[in-house]
Homo-oligomer: A and B are copies of this chain.
Amino acid sequence: MRAVFMYGAGDVRVDTVPDPVLSEPTDALVRVVTACICGSDLHPYHSMPAGQASPMGHEFIGVVEEAGSQVSTVKRGDLVIAPFAWSDGTCEFCREGLQTSCLHGGFWAREGIGGGQAEAVRVPLADGTLVKAPVGEDSELLPDLLTLSDVYGTGWHAAKRAGVGQGDSVVLIGDGAVGLLAVLSARRSGAEQIVLMGRHKDRTDLGGEFGATDVVAERGAEGIAKVRELTGGHGARKVLEAVGHMPAYTQAVGVVRPGGVISRVGAPQYEEAPVGFASLFGPNVTLTGGPAPARAYIEELMPAVLDGSVRPGKVFDRTVDLDGVPDGYRAMDRREALKVLVRP
């Protein structure tokens, strides 16, 4: 089959590799119908050292081609959504809805498991991992459903972890796909004021469609001042950080109200950050978030996607085939595309 590999920063190629096969009785073999490129794929695209080849992609919808003898919840021919972590669904963390900490699970494109930017994927622990979608592979809803793999679930996680509720004032840092879907999530959680910090008009316009009430294009001290002015002078009680770079963290600390929450879902590209008296401790600010257990949210978020009352798939503004994936990375890196859909 053909699959996408990254060979180093800026170096994405489509290779021909052996077809995946069932290896455990709990595996399923899934033919990928649609996948996509994630904003987080741009992190290795900027910094991966050369000298290795890493499979890519962690979001996909596909059709089960073959299911292992111990797989009982999906069968050959089912259209399934794969969340960005695979998990057993039965350990103490999965039962609590923290599938990203599954005791027996893991992540795509690591340790012998392929990535979603490919023609097919071996899915471990298929019963715990996959969710059947009640549509055909030609459904127009596929882009919307695909966001349940990661970006919509991740935006939802940001809002959940922050405890966004009725009447809340929320600041959203980052106008990427996750940021925009965090806007949608905050709106659906009842937030009244949603200030979106972002500089790309086409993106913040979509943010407005998803529910943002204010847009702040300024960054740094100017952006912080503007947000504070918009949120009663002392900042917002809930700040969702959907970028992962240090300036976004600094901005979050700057716009959060004393006693408020910063909920991070952008994978941090730093290990150390200010958390002392001057930043988090003094004003009793809570720092929360992490990789979203997207699997935990699929059943909850799917109905509104299926009935069309939300259209999270609007974040996709370009479609490519596998050969077009390297160009897709380039387009996302140059901000020419918000999020690229892949049809292998």
Contact = CB atoms under 8 A, between A and B. Distances in A.
Given A270-B276, A277-B271, A284-B98, A259 B93 contact: yes
Given A93-B258, A286-B288, A276 B281 contact: no
A264 B284 CA distance: 9
B272 A275 contact: yes
Given A258-B101, A259-B93, A259-B98, A279 B271 contact: yes
A49 interface: no
Contacts of A283: 101, 290
A198 interface: no
B284 A290 contact: yes
Nearest to A93: B258
Interface in A232-257: 234
B273 A276 contact: yes
A62 to B, nearest CB: 27
Q: This chain: how many copies in the complex?
A: 2
The majority secondary structure among interface residues of chain A is mixed
Nearest to A266: B281
Interface string A93-124: 10010101100000000000000000000000
Contact of A272 (B161, B276, B285): B276
A282 B291 CA distance: 6
Contacts of A279: 271
A271 B278 CA distance: 7
A50 to B, nearest CB: 23
A280 B287 contact: yes
A87 to B, nearest CB: 12
Contacts of A285: 290
A68 interface: no
Contacts of A288: 284, 286-288
Given A93-B258, A101-B258, A259-B93, A281 B277 contact: no
Name the residue among A268, A280, A281 with the largest chain B CB count within 10 angstroms.
Answer: A281
Contacts of A276: 268, 270-273
A280 B267 CA distance: 11
Given A267-B277, A283-B290, 5 more contacts: A101-B283, A268-B277, A271-B278, A272-B274, A284-B290
4 closest A-B pairs by CB: A284-B290, A271-B276, A101-B258, A286-B288
